[in-house]
A and B are shown apart, each in its own frame.
Chain A
Amino acid sequence: MIELSDVRFRWHRDAPLVLDIPAFEVRAGERVFLEGPSGSGKTTLLNILGGVTVPETGRVTVNGVRLGDLSGAGRDRFRADHIGFVFQMFNLIPYLSPMDNVILPCRFSQRRKAAAQQRSESVKNEARRLLRHMNLDANMVAARPASAFSTGQQQRIAVARALIGAPPLVIADEPTSALDHAVRTTFMDLMFEEVTAANAALLFVSHDPSLATRFDRQVTLADINGATA
C-alpha cells in the first residue's frame, strides 16, 4: 500500500535533513503502529504520504501510484480518492453539521462517492451507517453544528469521514491524544472494527506505546529515519 525508498527531505538546501528513510512499507490491509515523538519529522512524513509535500529525493508509492509522477492538483485528487485522514484535533469544519462533514470527501472524490453509493444506495445513507457504527445517533448529529459535540464524539465523526467511500488507506495522526483514558479505549475499539470491516490499511502514528499491542506491526520512526535531528 505504501512504499518509500530513499526518501529525503529538508526545508531548504542548507538546512539539515529532516527525513532520510531508505525503505519503509505498509502492505494492503496491514495495521501499522508508527511511534515517534513530536519533532521527529512525523508531520513531514504524513504530508509526504498525502502528497502535500514533495521529498527532495526518493520514491513515494501509494496504492501502486508514484506520487512523483503526478502534478500538484493530481496529488490532491489522489489524496481525495485514496486516503482518509484523522488528526489529533480540529478535524471538522465547525459550522457544518457532522453529517455534512462526513460526506465532504464524496464531494471532492467521484470514486469515493460511487463507492459510498454502491455500499448504501446513497452517500447520506452510508454516512448514517458509519455514524451509527461509531456509536453516534444519526438523527442527533444531523441538526447541530460539529462544534457543539464533545471531543470524543468529534474524533469518532472524523473516523466516519475518513472511512466513507472506502479509501484503501487510513492515516491517523495521534487521534487519541486529546481523549481521556476511558473514552480512548472505546474509540480504539470502534476504529479498529471499522477499519477492518472496510479492509483498509491503517497507519497509526502515536507517541503512546501502550496502544501498540493490538497492531499487526510496530515501527519506531527513529529506526527507519536515518536523519537524527
Chain B
Amino acid sequence: MTTLAAIINISVCSLINRRLTVFLTVFAIALSVMLLLGVEKVRQDAKLSFANTISGTDLIVGARSGSIQLLLYSVFRIGNATNNITWRSYQTIAARKDVKWTIPISLGDSHRGFRVMGTSEAYFKHYSYGQNRQLRFRDGKPFEDVFETVLGAEVARNLGYRIGDKIVIAHGLGTAGFAKHDDKPFTVSGILEPTGTPVDRTVHVSVEGITAIHVDWKGGSRVPGMSMDAEAVRKMDLTPRSITAFMVGLNSRLSAFRALREINNFRREPLLAILPGVALQELWGLMGTAEAALGAVAILVVAGGLLGMLTMMLASLNERRREMAILRAIGAQPIHIGAMFLIEALFITALGCLLGLALLYSAMIILQPVVETQLGLFIPIDMPRLREWLILGLVLASGALASTIPALLAYRRSLADGMTVRI
C-alpha cells in the first residue's frame, strides 16, 4: 500500500516538475474532449429540440414540394415555401368529417428579423409542443382585432415590447426590409410564455391581418396611387385567398393514413400532406451522414490529443532513465516503474477530461443565448448524462491503453538498466 502511495506521489511530483509540457498535453486532450462531448450534446439536444417543437398535430398540409421542406418552413420557420395553397382547398379539407381542428399558417413577412405568421385563434387552442404542452399567455390575450398581434417570448424580451405597443411589419424576410407596411401598425395584445421552440421567435397575427396589410399591394410592392387607411381596410372582406400551409388534428389517429392519401390525391390542386413524426425521421436520416462525419472528426481529434500525450511520455522516457535507476536501487520493481507511467497517463487523461467538461460548460453558458436566438435551438445546460460519462470513461480507457507503450518500454528499460545508467 505504501509502495503504491509512494509511486503515485512520485508520479504527481514528476508531473508537477514538468508542468508546462504536462499542461499543454492536458489542454490538448481537454479541447478534444470538449469537441467530442459538444458534438454529442448538440446532436442529442438538436434532436430533442426538434422533436419537442411539435406534438399533437397529426398532419401538416402545404403546396406540393418535399416533405422535409414543408416541415422546416411550417414548423421551424427555416427556409421558404415555394408555393401557397388556396383558401378554398383549406376550407374543403377543414370541413372533412375526420378533421377535429385546423391551424392555418401564412408566412412571408417579418418584423425586425423575426418572422410574422398569420394564423387563427385555433393556434392558441390546439397547437402543442413538448409533452403535449399548450401555449400559455404570460401577458394579455389572443388577438381579436385585425390589427392586433401576439408576440413570442423571445421577440418581446429582445425588442422590449409590452402590451399596447405598436409595431410595424415589413414586407419580406430581410432584416433591413425597406418596404414596410407602416401605414397599418399592429397593437400588441398578448405575449406568450417561453416554450424553447421557434414559437418564441414568432410574431403572430390573424390571417385576416396578413390580407389587410397586402390589400393595396401587388407583386411585392405598393400599388402607386392606391392607398387605403386601416379603417377603410377593416370594413373590407379580409378572407384570404391563399395561405402557406396548415396543421391538422384528427378525431382519431387511426384515420391519419387514409386522410394523408386522400389529401395527396386532392383533385383541385397539388397538395402535400405529411405526418410530422415521419418527416422528422426523414430529417434525422438526412442529418445522419453529417452527424457521423462530425463524430468521426471529433474521435480523430481525441486520438490526436492522446497521441500528443504518448509523444510527450516517450520523449520523457530518456531523460527519466536516471530517475528510474535511482528508484530501482532503492528497491522499486520494474513493474513499479511501468506503473508510474500508467498512473501518469491516467492523471493526464483524467485532468484532460475534467478540464474538457469545464470548457464545454463554459462554452455552453456563453453560447446558449446566441444559439437560441440565431438558430432557434434550445440547448439545456444540465448534468452530463450516462452516455457522456461513458464517452469520458472510454477516453480514459484509451489514454490508459495508449500509455501501455511507454509503460512497457520503461519496464523493459529499467529491467535492462538496473541501478546504473550509462549515458
Whether A108 contacts B17 in the complex (CB less than 8 A), given A50-B418, A93-B10, A93-B323, comes out as no
Q: Is B394 an interface residue (CB 8 A)?
A: no
B13 contacts A95, CB within 8 Å? yes
Interface of B is mostly: helix
Interface centre among A85, A96, A107 (most CB of B within 10 A): A107
B331 contacts A76, CB within 8 Å? yes
Q: Closest CB-CB distance, B316 to chain A, in whole Å?
A: 12
Q: How many A-B residue pairs have CB under 8 A?
A: 73
Q: Is B214 an interface residue (CB 8 A)?
A: no
Interface centre among A81, A104, A113, A161 (most CB of B within 10 A): A104
Nearest opposing residue in chain B for A80, CB measure: B331
Bound complex: CA of A108 vs CA of B419, how far in Å?
15
Q: Closest CB-CB distance, B285 to chain A, in whole Å?
A: 56
Nearest opposing residue in chain B for A74, CB measure: B333
Q: Is B5 an interface residue (CB 8 A)?
A: yes
Interface centre among B5, B328, B331 (most CB of A within 10 A): B331
Q: How large is the interface on B (under 10, 10 to 19, 20 to 34, 35 or more residues)?
A: 20 to 34
A87 contacts B420, CB within 8 Å? yes
- CB-CB under 8 A from A149, the residues of chain B are none
B333 contacts A72, CB within 8 Å? yes
Q: Closest CB-CB distance, B14 to chain A, in whole Å?
A: 6
Nearest opposing residue in chain A for B331, CB measure: A80
Beta-carbon contacts of A80-106 to B below 8 Å, as 1s and 0s?
110001010011111110001000111
How many chain-A residues does the 8 Å CB contact rule pick out? Answer: 33
Whether A50 contacts B2 in the complex (CB less than 8 A), given A76-B333, A91-B326, A93-B323, comes out as no
Nearest opposing residue in chain A for B5, CB measure: A107
Bound complex: CA of A73 vs CA of B334, how far in Å?
8
- CB-CB under 8 A from B326, the residues of chain A are 90-93
The 8 Å CB contact of B2, one of A53, A76, A79, A113, is: A113
A108 contacts B322, CB within 8 Å? no
Q: Is B223 an interface residue (CB 8 A)?
A: no
Whether A53 contacts B3 in the complex (CB less than 8 A), given A76-B332, A108-B332, comes out as no
Interface of A is mostly: helix
Whether A95 contacts B17 in the complex (CB less than 8 A), given A43-B420, A50-B419, A104-B6, comes out as yes
B418 contacts A81, CB within 8 Å? no
Whether A79 contacts B418 in the complex (CB less than 8 A), given A90-B322, A90-B326, A104-B6, comes out as no
Interface centre among A47, A80, A108 (most CB of B within 10 A): A108
- CB-CB under 8 A from A80, the residues of chain B are 330-332
Nearest opposing residue in chain A for B420, CB measure: A43
Q: Is B335 an interface residue (CB 8 A)?
A: yes
Q: Is A110 an interface residue (CB 8 A)?
A: yes
Q: Find residues 46-62 in chain A having any chain B CB closer than 8 Å to their own CB.
A: 46-47, 50, 52-53
The 8 Å CB contact of A52, one of B16, B17, B418, is: B418
Interface centre among A52, A96, A100, A110 (most CB of B within 10 A): A52
What would 18 A/B residue contacts be, using CB atoms closer than 8 Å?
A: A47-B419, A50-B418, A73-B335, A79-B331, A80-B330, A80-B332, A90-B322, A93-B13, A93-B327, A94-B323, A95-B13, A100-B13, A107-B2, A107-B3, A108-B6, A108-B330, A108-B331, A110-B2
A-side residues, CB < 8 A to B, are: 43, 46-47, 50, 52-53, 72-73, 76-77, 79-81, 85, 87, 90-96, 100, 104-110, 113, 145, 161
Closest 10 CB pairs of A and B: A80-B331, A107-B6, A95-B17, A52-B418, A108-B331, A76-B333, A85-B329, A47-B418, A90-B322, A79-B331
